Amino acid sequence: MRFFIQLSYKGTAYHGWQVQPNANTIQEEINKALSTILNAKIEVMGAGRTDAGVHAKQMFAHFDYNHHFDVHQIIIKLNSFLPNDIAIRTIFQVDDEASTRFDAVSREYHYNIVQEKSPFKTTAYFVHRPLDVKAMNLACKHILGQQDFTSFSKANTQTFTNNCNVISANWERVGSELIFTIKADRFLRNMVRAIVGTMLEVGIGKIKPDDVKDIIAKKDRCKAGTSVPAHALFLSKIVYPKGIAI
C-alpha cells in the first residue's frame, strides 16, 4: 500500500531535502522516524528537492507499507520523535502507482524580503536599497508561460528538459514584507532564487523589465542576476489532482 505524507519544515539546520553522505537532511529524518515507529525499513520519495536552508510550508512525500495503521496515532508519534523544526500534518492512502513527484499539478514558492533590518525576521532577506515594485511586476510578465529557463538554472543538473510552465508570478507588499510568489508546473534547481535576484536588479534600476525577456532568450545563466540567499525561500503549496486519495 502507498501513502502520501504531508509535512512542513524549517530548513535552516538541514542540508536540503535529499539524503546525502555526511549531511543532515529532511528526507533522512523522515526515513528514520517512519522506520523506527513502523518497525520496518521505510524510504520516502519527496515531491521535489529543496536546497540547503530552504523551508517548506507544505511538502509531500510518499512511502510504501503493507500494513494498516492508526493514522492519528502515527502522526502523534512521528511529531514526538521528529525534531521541532519538522512537523507532520497528514497521512493518507493513495493508489499504488501514485507519485508525489510526478503527479503534482503545480508547485508554488514564496520569497520574503524586508527593507528594514529586524532581528526577528530571520527567514526574510534584508534589502536596504529602494525597490521599484511596479517595474518588478512588469518584469514578471516575461517569465509567464511555457519557456526554456536555462538562464535561471544551476548548471549540470542532468534534467531531461529546462522547459517549465510558469502559471503566475507577482510581487506584493504584505505588512512590512515584500513577497514574491511564483507558481509553475515544475522548477529547476536554483530557479526561483535566480529569478528573484534578477528581479531585484530590475527593482534597483540596474536593468529594465523588458531585459528579462532577452535574458531568457539567451539561455545563459551568466546573463541573469545573482542568486539570492536560501533562508528566505519557502515551498508554500503543492497541488494534486482531485481524488488522488483513496
Please indicate, yes or no, whether residues 39 and 11 belong to a single structural domain of this protein: yes
Do 48 and 162 belong to one domain?
A: no
User: pLDDT, tens digit, for every residue of 71-126?
Assistant: 999 999 999 999 999 999 999 999 999 999 999 999 999 999 999 999 989 999 99
Question: Does residue 51 carry a catalytic annotation?
Answer: yes
Same domain, 74 and 10: yes
Q: Give the per-residue pLDDT at 157.
A: 62
**Residue 36 CA: distances (Å) to CA of 33, 82, 156:** 5, 11, 36
**What radius of gyration, in Å, describes the C-alpha atoms of the chain?**
19
Residue 186 has pLDDT above 90, yes or no: yes
Residue 14 falls inside a structural domain: yes
Last residue of a domain, one of 47, 72, 102: 102
Of all residues in the chain, what percent carry a pLDDT higher than 90? 91
Q: What are phi and psi of 107, to 5 degrees?
A: -130, 145
Q: What is the CB-side half-sphere exposure of residue 198 using CA atoms within 13 A? A: 30
User: Does residue 244 sit within a domain?
Assistant: no
Name the residue range of residue 45's domain.
2-102
pLDDT score at 86: 98
Determine whether 106 is exposed, middle or buried from the number of CB atoms within 10 Å of its CB (0-12, 13-18, 19+).
middle
CATH code (residue 35): 3.30.70.580
Residue whose cell numbers read 524580503 = 113
Cell of 229: 540567499
Query: Global pTM?
Result: 0.94
Please check whether residues 136 and 89 belong to one and the same domain: no
Q: Give yes or no for a contact between 214 and 201, defined as CB atoms under 8 angstroms apart.
A: no
How many domains are contained in the chain?
2
**3-state SS record for 88-118:** EEEEEEECCCCCCCCCCCEEEEEEEEECCCC
185 SS3 class: coil
- Compute the CA torsion angle 92, 96, 97, 101 (nearest 10 deg): 30
Catalytic residue among 51, 95, 103, 185: 51
